[in-house]
Structure 1
């Protein structure tokens, strides 16, 4: 182990070399701002809990810096244990600069939940068309400048979350090639986040900058635990 000199072991000097220079983080008013390094493509997949949660967490963080964020959910339904009003929607509604829309059919494709699989495909296709519209809106906006926090997503966004789009592609509700086409249409400064699928999205590996496998080690659902209010919805 290498030794340090007295200067670097002094508490005041050590604090100066930490992120933020040792200044304790504090909350500030949220005003429109411009991201300096956005423009990557992220993919979050796996059989573990937390893909959508991670994407929304990034959304809240970005919105907290004054960036414009929008989330489009393609397939977010749920079982009969999930209420129509979700906690995340209430939270997003109260967050400046963060908006959402859900075009998914109630329930999950391939499950015995009373919904029809044909309807899932129709709505997934509608969700894909909406994603194309949002990318065109982002391309038409000046993403190197501030965007009004209360403006509709048609006026552009700095970060776009396409929630469950990888699940829709995995279930062949949309073509994986079309997912790649969305990436190719992405404007340079837009941060694009895609979530979903328990299967590794091989088709995305050469097109995404960040790919995360959210892996399950243990989940109470395996013991019959239903979705819990405040953690799953």
Structure 2
């Protein structure tokens, strides 16, 4: 018979110390490695606040998914660019092709996001569209919109092909030509072009299915649900509008919309 505070091992010795003797039980977070009782210390960062580091070329280990961001709320392009900045901050090569950003009379000629991208190593962009694709009247004909969309989609196919020819498991030059491969490709507002019949949704599916294994492909746009991407995209997020300043008559604001 032993005291209730002790446990006898096969060797006949107690594996625990009687608390009355000032000892601690096995597994007591105050005994031994202090990290046992500190969940934060067991995280990859050891519980320390992250510190910025110089951006050096690196290769992602877990890229290769297809993302789709759609809905009538604000934030689809913003979310995609935010991921782009995060990826570039890790030294991954990121490129954004914008299908509908071509200028608008409601904003200035300079966009804050382009300035930020230009200052970020490893992040580049290009645009090839009419703001009229949103449904605003810009004086251009439908066939001009279709030609712009077709050219932009051809460009998207070329970028995906370039990624297929690259070694995406290796670091890529941060100032390299996007035609020679990127780790993340953002096709901003491609889903708007598909929703408006400027790009065939079947072609969007084919593009997503043709991408190389290591390429992270991010698609944005459309107020209508892109049901054709179900079973194709790994992430489909609906950005839903609850309230929007535009409904109260506010126009695009410097620093929030451009």
**Both structures adopt the same fold (TM-score exceeding 0.5):** yes
Deviations along 1:30-50, one digit per CA (max 9) or x if unpaired, are: 000010100000000000000
CA RMSD in angstroms, aligned pairs only: 1.7
Check the 8 A contact 1:76/1:107 in 2, yes or no.
no
Structure 2: how far apart are the matches of 1:78 and 1:199? 23
- Residue matched to 1:25: 50
**TM-score under structure 1 normalisation?**
0.93
Say whether 1:128 aligns with 2:153. Answer: yes
Max Rg structure:
2
Structure 2: how far apart are the matches of 1:49 and 1:179? 23
- Residue matched to 2:41: 16
Say whether 1:91 aligns with 2:124. Answer: no
Deviations along 1:136-181, one digit per CA (max 9) or x if unpaired, are: 1000000000100011101100000000000000000010000001
How far is the alpha carbon of 1:185 from its aligned partner? Answer: 1.1
* Bigger RCO (CA 8 Å, 6+ sep): 1
Pairing of 1:32-111 with structure 2 (within 5 A): 32-111=57-136
Q: Which structure 1 residue ranges, 4+ long, deviate > 4 Å from structure 2?
A: none
Check the 8 A contact 1:109/1:120 in 2, yes or no.
no
Structure 1: how far apart are the matches of 2:170 and 2:107? 39
Deviations along 1:95-117, one digit per CA (max 9) or x if unpaired, are: 00000000112433532233333
Deviations along 1:17-74, one digit per CA (max 9) or x if unpaired, are: 3451101101000000010100000000000000000000000000000000000001
Which blocks of at least 5 consecutive residues in structure 1 are unaligned?
none
**TM-score under structure 2 normalisation?**
0.84
Structure 2: how far apart are the matches of 1:135 and 1:183? 9
- Residue matched to 2:163: 138
- Residue matched to 1:7: 29
Structure 2: how far apart are the matches of 1:94 and 1:139? 27
Which blocks of at least 5 consecutive residues in structure 2 are unaligned?
1-26
Match of 2:246 among 205, 221, 228: 221
Deviations along 1:80-104, one digit per CA (max 9) or x if unpaired, are: 1111221101110110000000011
Aligned length: 228
How far is the alpha carbon of 1:206 from its aligned partner? Answer: 1.2
- Residue matched to 1:160: 185
How far is the alpha carbon of 1:187 from its aligned partner? Answer: 0.2
Structure 2: how far apart are the matches of 1:39 and 1:91? 25
